[in-house]
Amino acid sequence: MDRTQSADWAGRAEATLRERGHKASAPRSAVLALIGRQECVVSAQDIADELKRGRQKVGIATVYRTLEILEELRLVQRLDLGGESARFEPATPDGHHHHHHFVCRICGRAIPFEDDSLERVIDVLGKRLKATVEEHDVILKGVCPDCEG
Amino acid sequence: MDRTQSADWAGRAEATLRERGHKASAPRSAVLALIGRQECVVSAQDIADELKRGRQKVGIATVYRTLEILEELRLVQRLDLGGESARFEPATPDGHHHHHHFVCRICGRAIPFEDDSLERVIDVLGKRLKATVEEHDVILKGVCPDCEG
DNA sequence: GTCGATGCAAAGAATTTGCAGGACC
DNA sequence: GGTCCTGCAAATTCTTTGCATCGAC
């Protein structure tokens, strides 16, 4: 099911880009495919490195430019998890369960989790504030089980 | 009451630094005083600029070094709100109500808010996860009332 | 006096941008 | 064929570091 969803994401992204008048290209497709395969966050450098190991090499500038477009179209979400660089993950279509992140201070790994009560509270909160809330991130920081003790 | 609390923070910070064997200095005191006066986040550059306008000029390197120490001692919290640079704010003593941030996509301002239900849910969540949660950030993004068309 | 703190300037790291050539439609 | 895309390298921006000097204890 993961794989099905992944394929969907890349396909949906390609379609959206085409609709918006963007042209197809091998490097861009490779980036989309890789992002679609992610269950959690990756940095621009991660993407470039991963692709470099494969057959399709992609310049880091292209990775950034592609991510910029995807972010504008809300196909990926940019996250600042406190590391050196920004990280990105495929955005979930509206209403679908999306997750948040626990970041380990020791190993730096980001571990995704979801929680319905949390979403509900944030929903209510959004209504209480006068502002229009378009997106939200919850970041927990601490020590993960592997690094514990 | 704000002012009392601010004075407390700077005083507490100075005391903690002294305890840890750090030496006092005019530049550092100026940074501490300024941070203590903040109700919300500022960037390192904000701090340097603000002090430059006053009588005590402080090099940006000193600002960063001071912030680094303060962060280690958990006297300030570093926040990645998605802007270009990291922002900092005085940390609240344990257990005191701390706030989170709404960031406006148009004007970039960070608006603080607090919510007890949110804290409670995150508390429970921390227990559900096997990891030790040491801190958490909730960031809402959208459009603030002033920028709302 | 000793050792931490400062400021400047240089080094680093992440991200963006300019440009010439190449590919898509 | 025009326009968008790509890769490289240069430019930017934020942050850290090296170093000589100054000041606190």
Give the domain CATH number at B33: 1.10.10.10
Asked if B68 and B122 sit in the same domain, the reply is no
Same domain, B41 and B25: yes
Residues A28 and A81 both lie in one domain: yes
Return phi, psi of residue B137, to 5°.
Answer: -130, 140
Residues B20 and B78 in one domain: yes
For residues A91 and A102, state if they share a domain. no
Summarised one tens digit per residue, pLDDT across range B80-134 is: 998 889 999 999 876 666 899 999 988 888 999 999 999 999 999 988 988 889 8
Residues from chain B contacting residue A115 (CB–CB below 8 Å): 121, 125, 128
| A47 and A87, same domain (yes or no) | yes
Per-residue pLDDT 10s for chain A (149 aa) are 555 555 589 999 999 999 999 999 999 999 999 999 998 899 999 999 999 998 899 999 999 999 999 999 999 999 999 888 999 999 987 666 689 999 998 888 899 999 999 999 999 998 898 888 989 999 999 998 888 87
Q: Are residues B114 and B60 in the same domain?
A: no
Greatest CA separation for chain B:
53
Q: Residue B141: closest CA among chain A residues belongs to which residue?
A: A135
Residues A55 and A38 in one domain: yes
Contact A62, A28 (CB under 8 A): yes
Q: A98 and chain B: CB distance < 8 Å anywhere?
A: no
- Boundaries of domain holding B133: 98-149
Instruction: Give me the long-range contacts of B62-67 (CB less than 8 A, separation at least 24).
Output: B62/B27, B62/B28, B62/B31, B63/B31, B66/B27, B66/B28, B66/B31, B66/B32, B67/B31
Total tally of structural domains belonging to chain B:
2
Protein residue at shortest CA distance from C1' of D4: A23
What's the whole-model pTM score? 0.90
A29 CB below 7 A from strand D atoms: no
pLDDT digits (tens, 9 = 90+) for B11-22: 999 999 999 999
Asked if A77 and A134 sit in the same domain, the reply is no
Radius of gyration of chain A from Cα atoms? Answer: 17
**Separation in Å: D2 C1' and A66 CA:** 22
Do A50 and A92 lie in one domain? The reply is yes
Which has the closest alpha carbon to A40: A1, A69, A79, A4?
A: A79
Do A120 and A68 lie in one domain? The reply is no
